[in-house]
Amino acid sequence: MPLEKEDIEAKIPYQYPMPKDAAPEIVVPSAIPEDERIWVPQAENVCFRPLCLNVSQGYWMNLLRVRKSGVLSRHRHPNAVHGYVIKGRWHYLEHDWVAEEGGYVYEPPGETHTLVVPDDVDEMITFFQVNGIMYYVDPYGNHLGYEDVFTKIDMCRKHYEEVGLGADYVDQFIR
């Protein structure tokens, strides 16, 4: 039976170049890396693995890995956050739901919450898209500090330099 025109066309790649101003794609073969040095420490037993550090739109995609239990941080989000739990489990003091392995969480702008990893979880890994900033606060909303895509990049540069990957190792994740 002769192939229909649509069947043939279905297998033809797009015939034109990408827009001249489009940034190159990022392809990370092992999002959970083999090389431990790729994890950037941010507190004792807490580290992140950068995937996309988007300086043009002010957000970052990263894996957060926690190997301790208890309260991690209290923070406010002026912008939305998306999370996908790859391993373990966590919750917020302010909500009665639990983010479980395989689950997805949307954190709306305006949320202030206190992240807790339960005692029976040895390791938690969550894929987060954080937009804008993480604004760290005390229980009464007083400002303690912040992180944005630029402070994340600085942390990566410093760490990658120290572990011998070179400060510019982070450049592949910046768009």
Residues found near Fe ion in the complex (CB under 5 A): 107
Distance CA 167, CA 48 (A): 16
User: What is the closest distance, in whole angstroms, from the C-beta atom of residue 16 to Fe ion in the complex?
Assistant: 41
Distance CA 91, CA 123 (A): 14
Pick between residue 69 and residue 73 the one whose CB is nearest to Fe ion: 73
Pick between residue 107 and residue 147 the one whose CB is nearest to Fe ion: 107
Pick between residue 17 and residue 139 the one whose CB is nearest to Fe ion: 139
Residue 18: what are its φ and ψ, rounded to 5°? -65, 160
Residue 37: what are its φ and ψ, rounded to 5°? -65, -20
Question: Which residue, 64, 28, 59, 66, is CA-closest to 48?
Answer: 64
User: What is the closest distance, in whole angstroms, from the C-beta atom of residue 128 to Fe ion in the complex?
Assistant: 8
Distance CA 37, CA 49 (A): 10
Pick between residue 63 and residue 169 the one whose CB is nearest to Fe ion: 63
What torsion do the CA atoms of 127, 129, 134, 137 make, to the nearest 10 degrees?
-50
User: What is the closest distance, in whole angstroms, from the C-beta atom of residue 113 to Fe ion in the complex?
Assistant: 6
Q: Which residue is nearest to Fe ion (CB)?
A: 107
User: What is the closest distance, in whole angstroms, from the C-beta atom of residue 101 to Fe ion in the complex?
Assistant: 18
